[in-house]
Structure 1
């Protein structure tokens, strides 16, 4: 039996005995992935409650409310009789918007005067408000265009000509890459790799940190015949295999779930996420080697990796962030992998487009590996570095 095999078996024996670490390695990731996917499985926000305050109570206002109620993603409720009660409901989050049809609305429409409705939105919740505004604006414009065309027909203008007069400028908006848009593709499929990065770091920090905490670092090195390289590879190999197996399942699941949204090469995408996980692991090793403290290593790994999604540019444009935030984002493997995700897997761009983020992750992997190896070999196997909890 080779020394490498002995080292691997030593780590597997620990996992067999420590049910907490075993669950962290095998059970935590699929549970978290399923939970995140379940949250966004609807794809798009649905049945967002909107209050209707109809102060006009006419045939035209009822027509407008019917079309607004038919708008996708909106559930129109008419139980609020005035704006003040509706605003109170907006504050308590019983609703997320108020559509007010003012008194005299039909009269303004019939006399040709500019008619206005009021849409009050709770902008604290940008996803809610933007979705409601998009759907309700479309419904209201449809009603307005219909009324305008009816007026022109009364003047003897044909419908095609009337349409061009009523709406002289059209915007041909063509959604590309996640046309839905689906929040499964936008958020679920990008938050899960963020979890991979967090777990990759936590697993290796825990695995190496406990050797230092328990004072067993010397035994760990002896099991590998005093070869630090073999000891490190054997230590992280079980976690590397498990994590990247889950990454493969993630790729296959989303490719089958929404195939129309993924036009890039799935195999290359998986290989890049393997690179991201490997980079996160070596950064985790570097952190625990630098601190030589189990608790401090876990804290720093969490501080570094947990908020990574917020800085990645996926939810908020990276170019709009302050320079300091952009610099922080640049040292996170997730930031560069998400470029691969958006450009290669979703966008279907050729491989040469994502060479830069791949090379950056590779450079981070090499640098962190060299620094981690030097720190471990220089300090980690001295008794004064052991016992810190």
Structure 2
């Protein structure tokens, strides 16, 4: 009996390999198309940090101090002063034209206030529509302004007879030391790419399952498919899912090796938990795809449902917006997606350095998705897929 089952599933796998090999696009959906998209995502964010983001400068003071501030701003790695605007209206025009994402206004009397020992203000206007641009630019502008301010204050105290160490202590009696953990360089490569590639992977997994099973229903080739499997739905489904399981599990491992070894984002926590999480993610979405086609029995409807579930999944995964800050309904939907649980596991283990036991709940949840969705999908197909009424639908 064991040999018969193995032969049935193996025969279905061989049949599936022949079909995929004969179709350029089906083969591409399991191989080069996902890999090309992963590479494109990495290339977009491979720089890690946004550098030389354009800003404008409005210098109404035209003094040595204002020119020094402008030079320091331009020398900051994240800022490029691309225009010297005559006034705020001209600078606003540059923002609306997307030629700049913010501007610094140095008012008249800036140097005089500094030399007179009075507080001098510099105004920073930025386009809040682009939060990633604004965050990096604001940080650099504040750093430059604080550095110039500290230099002026320390120089004034030194002129009054304070030594360098004493002047520094008087100027900043309480110091805050900020330490960035787990992503020390605030790299977008580790923040976004490590999360976006699994997000794309889950889309391809579901589409592959829905397409491969849905075509059997659409083309009314279910009898031949089942005959190849010896009339057994479990063997038919096992043989059908073996190829996407192998293809996407291999892609998941390549993803891990590329970033952990070649790119140097070494796994700080449990490698075993991360590998298990990746494989369970693939299995979970194999189950989701099987459930969708089992419920709809229609290739078109199942693909539409797959797009609805997988395409916006990243937005609910807690990477761009905190999961705990979401409304209850959105948070419940996020918890109903396998991707959310995998990315929580990945963030703990890859850069966070958590031991394997911190991912047990997430791994069990992913296993539950795989078994629950896959088992229900198989049950629905075995009960409804034998009927000729289910065949021939688009």
TM bracket, shorter-chain basis = over 0.9
2:320 aligned residue (315, 328, 331): 315
Q: CA deviation at 1:364?
A: 1.5
State the alpha-carbon separation in 1 of the partners of residues 204 and 96 from structure 2: 38
1:131 aligned residue (117, 128, 136): 136
- 2:352 corresponds to 1:342: no
Q: How well do the aligned residues superpose, as a CA RMSD in angstroms? A: 1.2
Q: CA deviation at 1:344?
A: 0.9
1:248 aligned residue (244, 248, 253): 253
The DSSP-based 3-state class of the residue aligned with 1:11 is: helix
State the alpha-carbon separation in 2 of the partners of residues 142 and 387 from structure 1: 71
Q: Is the 8 A contact 2:271 2:349 kept in 1?
A: no
State the alpha-carbon separation in 1 of the partners of residues 297 and 255 from structure 2: 33
State the alpha-carbon separation in 2 of the partners of residues 284 and 379 from structure 1: 16
- Between the two proteins, the alignment pairs up a number of residues equal to 389
- 2:64 corresponds to 1:51: no
- When residues 257 and 82 of structure 1 are mapped into structure 2, their CA distance, relative to the original with a 3 A threshold, is farther
1:361 aligned residue (358, 366, 372): 366
Q: CA deviation at 1:86?
A: 0.8
State the alpha-carbon separation in 1 of the partners of residues 266 and 88 from structure 2: 42
2:386 aligned residue (375, 381, 384): 381
The equivalent residue for 1:282 is 287
2:100 aligned residue (95, 107, 114): 95
Q: Is the 8 A contact 1:179 1:261 kept in 2?
A: no
Q: Is the 8 A contact 1:178 1:261 kept in 2?
A: no
Give the unaligned 5+ runs of structure 2: none
State the alpha-carbon separation in 2 of the partners of residues 261 and 349 from structure 1: 13
**Within-5 A mapping of 1:184-199:** 184-199=189-204
Q: Deviations over 1:23-50 (max 9, x none)?
A: 1111211010000000000000011001
User: TM-score, normalised to structure 2's length?
Assistant: 0.96
The equivalent residue for 1:84 is 89
User: TM-score, normalised to structure 1's length?
Assistant: 0.98
- 2:14 corresponds to 1:23: no
The equivalent residue for 2:243 is 238
Q: CA deviation at 1:268?
A: 3.2
Higher mean Cα deviation, 77-86 or 305-314? 77-86
Higher mean Cα deviation, 144-153 or 252-261? 252-261
State the alpha-carbon separation in 2 of the partners of residues 344 and 134 from structure 1: 29
State the alpha-carbon separation in 1 of the partners of residues 238 and 217 from structure 2: 17
The DSSP-based 3-state class of the residue aligned with 2:178 is: coil
State the alpha-carbon separation in 2 of the partners of residues 346 and 336 from structure 1: 16
1:301 aligned residue (295, 301, 306): 306
The equivalent residue for 1:141 is 146
- 2:39 corresponds to 1:4: no
Q: Deviations over 1:215-273 (max 9, x none)?
A: 11121111100111111111011111111111111100001244355312334312211
Give the unaligned 5+ runs of structure 1: none
Q: Deviations over 1:81-105 (max 9, x none)?
A: 2211110110111000100100100
